[in-house]
Amino acid sequence: MLFKLAFRNILRNRRRSIMSAGAIAVGAIAMVLFGGFIASIILGVQTDTVRRTGHLAIYRTGFFTFGSGNPAAWGMPGYRDILDLVRRDPVLAPLTAVVTPTVALFGIAGNFSIDASRTFVGSGVVPHDRDIMRRWNPYNLSYNNAAGSGLDDADPIKGVVGSGLARILGFCETLNLGNCPPPQPRETAQTPIAADIAALAASEKSETAAPDTLPHIDLLAATATGAPNVISMVIGNVDRQGVKELDDAFVLMHFDLAQQLLYGRGEKRALAILLQLHATSDLPAARARLTDIIRARNLDLEVRDFTEIVPLYSQIIAMFSAIFTFIAVIMAVIVLFTVGNTMSMSVMERTAEIGTARAIGLRRSGIRRQFLLEAWILGAIGATTGIAAGIALALIVNQAGLIWLPPGQSAPSPLAVIIGNMGQLHLAIWLGLMAATTLAAIIPANRAARLPVVDALRHV
């Protein structure tokens, strides 16, 4: 009877109830759509980050904090033993998709045939491993950069450069990059530095022979001992980077070539060992296991995860979480005022009925329960309808083929609103709206419950 009474009272003033439930539904729709959109951004950023850096990286202790100024000096001696140790570990093996060494380096990239040079930031990777990493897509996101890295295990002199660097070094037309500037008049005299580098490059050519017929660049870097070293690298592919500063300096090369540049004829080392897991949820377990292994063998190594390596990831999540919270608070305030107003009007209109029910023998708690139940029914109808409508709208958006450029990415992606596996968020939205509805109804319900019976009965 209590439920029947509540339901009929809601239907009593249909327009007002529809407005209240509608406000709740709009709040639910907004949060379902925006929550799904944020989820797609977060998963997209995570996918992009994990494809580049893996989930975990093993460094020599202190490199992460101090080593970026001279990465060559922080190389891991005996890194192959550590690779074997990690790959054969019975706990880590089933969790990991890729365990691969990498080096990072920087120096000067030049196309000395046109006297063009630019500082570069480079990485040396194992092509096959990198290609596997770039295919990591456990969330089934549609990305167009899941193609190979452009490197080849069998061709160590082939590398990849950012489109900005390729333009700067004069390969715009050669590599068909588009929007190429008109040819600039060449200066005949080389600067003394460029001449030195060109001579050094020429002296090293016998070791890193890149055919002159292919577009290639010369890379100058300091070795671990501080001596300058130069190699030639064929531009096998151009990969546009999402951030211009990176695009103008990006070089990705074969691990062996990078080692040759960084260590010359000395002992070859790796700067980091990257672990890409099958699932991000395994990260804590994998990290704990790695830490145990390092501690048990007393190795001078440390482990960092991708959120530490790429702080932008956490910043993006924090920013979108704050925006979502802001929207949720606004929606909650709207629901509070709408439902609060509806319930207050209802209490005022039904004052005599409240007095009658109290006179007949309904306790104050019964009156309170009556109005809260009405608010809950309104909230449940609004929230359920809103979530269902939000899911339907998300399906429409996902089918509409809308395109946008996500943060930190170089190529447009489909605009997606994730609705699968979002049950927890939808439940949280539903419960949040019910909580807001309850909060809105508490004051009117208490006011109704506290009405003196005689005064309520006198109300016209």
Partner 1 sequence: MNRLPDTDTALAVRLDAVEKTYAEDGFSVIALAGITADIPRGRFVMIVGPSGSGKSTLLNLIGCIDRPTKGSIEVAGQRIADLSDDALTDFRARAVGFVFQNFNLFPVLSAYENVEYPLLLLGLTARQRRDRTMAMLDQVGLADQARQRPNQLSGGQKQRVAIARALVKNPSLVLADEPTANLDSTNGAAIIALMRTVQRQHNTSFVFSTHDPQLMSHADETFTLKDGKLVGHHRADPA
Q: How far apart are CA 16 and CA 11, in angstroms?
A: 9
Contact criterion met (CB below 8 Å) for 233 and 119: no
The reply to whether 93 sits near partner 1 by the rule CB under 8 A is: no
Question: 366 or 412: whose CB is closer to partner 1?
Answer: 366
Least gap, CB of 343 to partner 1 (angstroms): 16
Positive or negative, the CA dihedral 17, 23, 27, 28 is positive
Listed residue (248, 255, 235) closest to 131, CA to CA: 255
The reply to whether 363 sits near partner 1 by the rule CB under 8 A is: yes
Restricted to residues 3-22, the positions that interact with partner 1 (CB under 8 A) are 4-5, 8-9, 11-12
Contacting residue, 51, 158, 268, 358, with partner 1 by CB under 8 A: 358
The reply to whether 360 sits near partner 1 by the rule CB under 8 A is: yes
Least gap, CB of 368 to partner 1 (angstroms): 12
Question: 206 or 365: whose CB is closer to partner 1?
Answer: 365
Neighbours of 91 (CB within 10 A): 14
Least gap, CB of 5 to partner 1 (angstroms): 7
Contact criterion met (CB below 8 Å) for 219 and 134: no
Q: Please give the structure tokens belonging to residue 439.
A: 């909060």
Q: How far apart are CA 115 and CA 190, in angstroms?
A: 7
Least gap, CB of 359 to partner 1 (angstroms): 5
DSSP string, 66-132: HGGGSGGGG-BTTHHHHHHHHHH-TTTTTTEEEEEEEEEEEEEEEETTTTEEEEEEEEEE-HHHHHH
The reply to whether 362 sits near partner 1 by the rule CB under 8 A is: yes
The reply to whether 265 sits near partner 1 by the rule CB under 8 A is: no
The reply to whether 244 sits near partner 1 by the rule CB under 8 A is: no
Q: Please count the residues of this chain forming the interface with partner 1, following the rule CB under 8 A.
A: 25
| Region binding partner 1 by CB under 8 A among candidate stretches 84-92, 98-106, 222-230, 362-370 | 362-370
Neighbours of 389 (CB within 10 A): 16
Burial class (CB in 10 A: 0-12, 13-18, 19+), 403: exposed
Listed residue (232, 274, 245) closest to 103, CA to CA: 274
| Region binding partner 1 by CB under 8 A among candidate stretches 22-30, 308-316, 368-376, 452-460 | 452-460
- Residue 369: how many CA atoms within 13 Å on its side-chain side? 11
Least gap, CB of 354 to partner 1 (angstroms): 11
Question: 121 or 457: whose CB is closer to partner 1?
Answer: 457
Question: 189 or 360: whose CB is closer to partner 1?
Answer: 360
* Token pair 């309808």: residue: 385
The reply to whether 361 sits near partner 1 by the rule CB under 8 A is: yes
Restricted to residues 334-353, the positions that interact with partner 1 (CB under 8 A) are 352-353
What distances in angstroms separate CA 111 from CA 203, 205, 215, one per listed residue?
16, 14, 9
Contacting residue, 322, 330, 359, 427, with partner 1 by CB under 8 A: 359
| Region binding partner 1 by CB under 8 A among candidate stretches 22-30, 45-53, 177-185, 359-367 | 359-367
Listed residue (154, 134, 155, 152) closest to 144, CA to CA: 134
Question: 6 or 335: whose CB is closer to partner 1?
Answer: 6
Question: 357 or 418: whose CB is closer to partner 1?
Answer: 357
Q: How far apart are CA 452 and CA 454, in angstroms?
A: 6
Restricted to residues 23-62, the positions that interact with partner 1 (CB under 8 A) are none
Least gap, CB of 352 to partner 1 (angstroms): 6
Can you give the binding site for partner 1, defined by CB under 8 A? 1, 4-5, 8-9, 11-12, 352-353, 355-366, 452-454, 457
